[in-house]
Structure 1
Amino acid sequence: MDKKNLFHGSGLIGGGALAVISLLSIANNDSNIVTTLMLIGGVGMFLSSGYRLVGKRSANFDPNPILVWLSVLFAAIGLVGVVLLVLR
């Protein structure tokens, strides 16, 4: 699989996970500056990674394979965390 797709897809998942976690906190009336900043950061990460996946890409961007697989690992951990939080 293409390293660029994995890298940006992991950012998409990670940003979505941050946004979902912060939205769940806001829905539980636990709204504060931290959850608001998490929501803004998560949505920004989601949108920028999504744009890089479907839109214009930098031709000279070649991510390090170690960083790609670390981002995939952490995106998977974040996704598992969101699923566990939703099922709680």
Structure 2
Amino acid sequence: MDRPLVYHVSQMIVGCGLILLGISSVVAGDLDGFLIPGTTALMIVGGVGILLGNGYHIWNENTDRVDIGPVSFWLSIVGAVLILLAGVLSLAV
């Protein structure tokens, strides 16, 4: 298993989860009088940044620069699954 590649993909999933959480806040109407609140905008922009940054590393086959231990590796995968689940559930509710 190519751990650096899986790590970058899990970080892309985290970015998607942040985007989903931000979008769910906009869809739910939690705007508090603003067009888009600052926290929501930061979640969306941060998620896009994480997605693009890690996608760039994968696209350029530049994933071997990450030396990640087994604990950090599995924590990144578990975190990615949990934030994606939270994003999907926030859109569903």
Pairing partner for 2:69 from 49, 64, 70: 64
Cα separation, 2, equivalents of 1:84 and 1:43: 20
Point out the structure with max Rg over C-alpha: 2
The answer to whether the aligner puts 1:51 opposite 2:51 as a matched pair is: no
| Higher RCO (Cα < 8 Å, 6 or more apart) | 2
For residues 40-60 of structure 1, what are the alpha-carbon distances to aligned partners after superposition, in whole Å with 9 as ceiling and x for unaligned?
A: 111000111111122241644
Cα separation, 2, equivalents of 1:45 and 1:60: 17
Task: Tell me the TM-score normalized by structure 2.
Answer: 0.83
Aligned to 2:85: 80
Change (3 A) 1:5 1:74: same
- Unpaired stretches in structure 2, ≥5 consecutive residues: 31-35
Between the two proteins, the alignment pairs up a number of residues equal to 88
Aligned to 2:39: 34
- Unpaired stretches in structure 1, ≥5 consecutive residues: none
